[in-house]
Amino acid sequence: MAQSVHHRVKKMTAVIEARGLTKAYGAQRALDGVSFTVQPGRIVGLIGPNGAGKTTALKAILGLTSFSGELRVMGLDPRLQRDALMREVCFMADVAVLPRWLKVNQALDYVAGVHPRFDRSVAESFLRKTDIRMSSRVGQLSKGMVTQLHLALILAIDARLLVLDEPTLGLDLLYRRKFYDTLLNDYFDKQRTIVLTTHQVEEVENLFTDVIFINRGHVALDSAVEALGERYQQLTVSAERCAPARALKPFYEHEVFGRVAMFFEGRTKAELAPLGELRTPSIADLFVAKMQRVTP
């Protein structure tokens, strides 16, 4: 019984817990008192425009930059316990960090030597399904192949937290689909957590269990995806219904083929449904609305 209780408590421990996270570059605050929590077994989209603070937040999580405030990742302080943290975390960015002269088999040798949870057989099995030869140098591979090589290394590391920063940037649609299909089918399970930044929100929003919108160093939204429908509504109205709809104070609106799409927070479906077509906004549409947040 005691073991069962302990297991439940451990399972509920947050993977990432940030409180008042702040980072300044001179007079510019990249992060300004940011607070959020990431629970285990979730796929979290960290979404924001360029310069919003996403990359700085990821660097703080990975122990790659100094900061003020409180931050725990896997229960560890990234500033003081980065070596221990990196045994539990795997990171992939859009910029290939592998030297162009490095051979594929040497890349596997290197990761096997530095990461205690690397299973070489898993990486080799994945690479056999690609056109990548073990004797090829990184400089001979296309960008798509380099991404496949990175993915092979990720799949072979038994990490509890995977951090992806624009992992499919510059890839064509086919490679992007393959990447995320592989990630979901061969890597993700309820014991692992993924934090993903991307500008291609429309393509991957169906993957997310949670979203965090960040803008100008502040969190604009932090929510489970399943809760968005209870909180936000998108109402599309004809011109003659605009006045009564605006009386309910949408926080954003835009014109769509002669009609107006309005976004509401905290309004009930019963209030809005009589005025027009009602639906839960997509994550991409909600992101645009929250970032611009302009009403005429």
Please write the tens of the pLDDT for every residue from 15-28: 999 999 999 988 88
Give yes or no for residue 45 having a pLDDT over 80: yes
- Whether 269 is in a domain gets the answer yes
> Residue 249: what pLDDT?
95
> Residue 99: what pLDDT?
85
- Whether 276 is in a domain gets the answer yes
Distance CA 20, CA 211 (A): 19
Average model confidence (pLDDT) across the chain: 89
Tens-place pLDDT, residues 207-231: 999 999 999 999 999 999 999 999 9
pTM summary value: 0.87
Band (pLDDT 50/70/90 cuts) for residue 239 is: confident
Give yes or no for residue 190 having a pLDDT over 80: no
Give yes or no for residue 175 having a pLDDT over 80: yes
Which one, of 235, 266, 194, 238, lies nearest residue 45 by Cα? Answer: 194
- Whether 10 is in a domain gets the answer no
Which one, of 233, 240, 279, lies nearest residue 258 by Cα? Answer: 240
> Residue 3: what pLDDT?
44
Mean pLDDT computed over 229-235: 95
Q: Which residues, at least 6 apart from 285, have a Cβ–Cβ distance to it below 8 Å?
A: 234, 263
Distance CA 253, CA 293 (A): 8
> Residue 98: what pLDDT?
76
Q: Which of 3-12, 158-167, 240-249 comes out lowest in average pLDDT? A: 3-12
| N- to C-terminal Cα separation, the chain | 60
> Residue 95: what pLDDT?
55
Name the phi and psi angles at 271, rounded to 5.
Answer: -70, -40
Mean pLDDT computed over 150-172: 88
- Whether 198 is in a domain gets the answer no
Instruction: Print the SS3 string covering the chain.
Output: CHHHHHHHHHHHCCCEEEEEEEEEECCEEEEEEEEEEECCCCEEEEECCCCCCHHHHHHHHCCCCCCEEEEEECCECCCCCHHHHCCCEEEEECCCCCCCCCEHHHHHHHHHHHCCCECHHHHHHHHCCCCCCCCCEHHHCCHHHHHHHHHHHHHCECCCEEEEECCCCCCCHHHHHHHHHHHHHHHCCCCCEEEEECCCHHHHHHHCCEEEEEECCEEEEEEEHHHHHHHEEEEEECHHHHHHHHCCCCCEEEEECCEEEEEEECCCHHHHHHHCEEECCCHHHHHHHHHHCCCC
Mean pLDDT computed over 94-100: 70
Domain with 233 in it: 227-292
- The partner residues of 214 in beta bridges, in order of sequence, read 219
Name the phi and psi angles at 140, rounded to 5.
Answer: -90, -10
> Residue 186: what pLDDT?
81
Mean pLDDT computed over 241-254: 94
Give the CA count within 13 Å in the CB-facing half-sphere of 29: 13
Distance CA 94, CA 117 (A): 23
- Whether 247 is in a domain gets the answer yes
- Whether 108 is in a domain gets the answer no
Give yes or no for residue 159 having a pLDDT over 50: yes
Q: Which residues, at least 6 apart from 38, have a Cβ–Cβ distance to it below 8 Å?
A: 14, 15, 16, 17, 44, 193, 195, 210
Per the structure, how many domains does the chain have?
Answer: 1
Tens-place pLDDT, residues 46-85: 999 988 899 999 999 999 999 999 999 999 999 999 989 9
- Whether 16 is in a domain gets the answer no
CATH number of domain containing 231: 3.30.70
Mean pLDDT computed over 143-172: 88
Give me the helix-helix angle, 143-155 and 104-114, nearest 10°.
30
- Whether 251 is in a domain gets the answer yes
